[in-house]
Chain A
Amino acid sequence: EAGVTQFPSHSVIEKGQTVTLRCDPISGHDNLYWYRRVMGKEIKFLLHFVKESKQDESGMPNNRFLAERTGGTYSTLKVQPAELEDSGVYFCASSQGGQSNQPQHFGDGTRLSIL
């Protein structure tokens, strides 16, 4: 079974540019989550999809961040325009549907560097 896949693994862009991160969850997983780790701090929640619907987006830092999961399969996270403080590692995770708190399986992350 393929795990959670994220692309790209690393992105370096200039401040003001746009970047789109992609996450492919484990096949059949209804729940998809985005987290990020900034400058060696703790991993912080961004948002949670159940299929194609946003269940919880309370962790999204501001309106420069836009997440989508059209069709309930893969998800994208777009940052536009990118700012210096957006640098960090963005993780995607997925879990099965049904009962709450099914184990979340993480991808390798996308390391985003804003210059």
Chain B
Amino acid sequence: GENVEQHPSTLSVQEGDSAVIKCTYSDSASNYFPWYKQELGKRPQLIIDIRSNVGEKKDQRIAVTLNKTAKHFSLHITETQPEDSAVYFCAASDAGNMLTFGGGTRLMVKP
């Protein structure tokens, strides 16, 4: 089955700096890669997703890149703000819809 590794497990950045979170996956059949943000005590919120037919997608300060050959994808947050502090999860899925999640990254943005 699919295995998703996520790094780093914790990330501390200064407000205004960029943050990068990386994930690798094992199943070459995976074709959908969402990212979720979970604030303390709240539900995981989908913030961006990418499908295997594109290499990059941007939404304001957030971007995701995908390298199918190397089987890795990354989340980039620019101009970080304190409200970006949360746990971020990457996930991968093939056509079966089941999401396999990475272990999560706790991002702390220091004012």
Q: Do A and B come from one complex?
A: yes
List A residues at the B interface (Cβ < 8 Å): 3-4, 31, 33, 35, 41-45, 48, 55-56, 58-59, 91, 95, 100-109
**Known contacts A43-B89, A56-B96; A104 and B46 CB within 8 A of each other:** yes
List B residues at the A interface (Cβ < 8 Å): 4, 31-32, 34, 36, 42-46, 49, 51, 89, 91, 93, 95-104
Taking a contact as CB atoms under 8 Å apart, the answer to whether B36 and A103 are in contact is no
A43 to B104, CA, bound (A): 9
Task: Find B103's partner among A3, A41, A95 (CB 8 Å cutoff).
Answer: A41
Task: Find A101's partner among B95, B102, B104 (CB 8 Å cutoff).
Answer: B95
25 A-B contacts (beta carbon < 8 Å)? A31-B97, A33-B99, A41-B103, A42-B89, A42-B101, A43-B91, A43-B101, A45-B98, A45-B100, A55-B97, A56-B96, A56-B97, A56-B98, A59-B98, A91-B43, A101-B31, A101-B93, A101-B95, A103-B34, A103-B49, A104-B34, A104-B46, A106-B36, A106-B46, A109-B43
A55 to B103, CA, bound (A): 25
Q: B89: shortest Cβ distance to chain A, in Å?
A: 6
A108 to B38, CA, bound (A): 10
Given contacts A41-B103, A56-B96, 20 further A-B contacts (CB under 8 A): A31-B97, A33-B99, A35-B101, A42-B4, A43-B101, A45-B99, A45-B100, A48-B96, A48-B97, A59-B98, A101-B31, A101-B32, A101-B51, A104-B97, A105-B46, A106-B44, A106-B45, A107-B43, A108-B42, A108-B43
Chain B residue at minimum C-beta to C-beta distance from A43:
B101
Q: A114: shortest Cβ distance to chain B, in Å?
A: 20
Taking a contact as CB atoms under 8 Å apart, the answer to whether B99 and A104 are in contact is yes
The residues of A that contact B43 with a CB separation of less than 8 Å are: 3-4, 91, 106-109
A14 to B93, CA, bound (A): 36
Give 9 nearest A-B pairs by CB, closest first: A101-B32, A43-B101, A100-B95, A106-B44, A108-B43, A42-B103, A106-B43, A42-B101, A45-B98
Q: A109: shortest Cβ distance to chain B, in Å?
A: 7
